[in-house]
C-alpha cells in the first residue's frame, strides 16, 4: 500500500480514537449525574467499560498503522 493511503488510514484511526475519548467523557459525566441523582448506574458503567475496551482496540489499530508508516519511511 502506498504511503499516502496509509496516512489516510492513520488519520481515520486518529479520528476513531478521538471519538472514543469524547464518548467516554460523555458517558462518565452521565454516570456521575445519574449517581448524584440516585439512579441505578450499573448498566451505564458496563457500557462505559465497553467504550474503554473499544477505544483500546482503536488505539492498537492506530499504533499498528503508525508503525507501518514509520516502516515505509525506512525502506
- Burial 1-12, CB ≥16 within 10 A → b, else e: eeeeebeebbee
Per-domain residue ranges for the chain? Answer: 3-74
- Interval 45-72: pLDDT, tens: 999 999 999 999 999 999 999 998 887 6
Q: Give yes or no for residue 75 having a pLDDT over 90.
A: no
What's the pTM value of the predicted model, to 2 decimals? 0.85
- Interval 7-26: pLDDT, tens: 899 999 999 999 999 999 99
Amino acid at each position: 500500500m502506498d504511503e499516502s493511503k496509509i496516512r489516510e488510514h492513520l488519520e481515520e484511526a486518529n479520528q476513531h480514537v478521538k471519538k472514543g475519548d469524547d464518548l467516554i467523557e460523555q458517558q462518565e459525566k452521565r454516570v456521575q449525574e445519574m449517581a448524584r441523582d440516585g439512579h441505578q448506574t450499573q448498566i451505564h458503567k458496563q457500557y462505559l467499560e465497553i467504550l474503554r475496551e473499544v477505544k483500546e482496540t482503536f488505539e492498537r489499530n492506530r499504533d499498528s498503522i503508525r508503525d507501518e508508516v514509520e516502516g515505509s519511511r525506512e525502506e
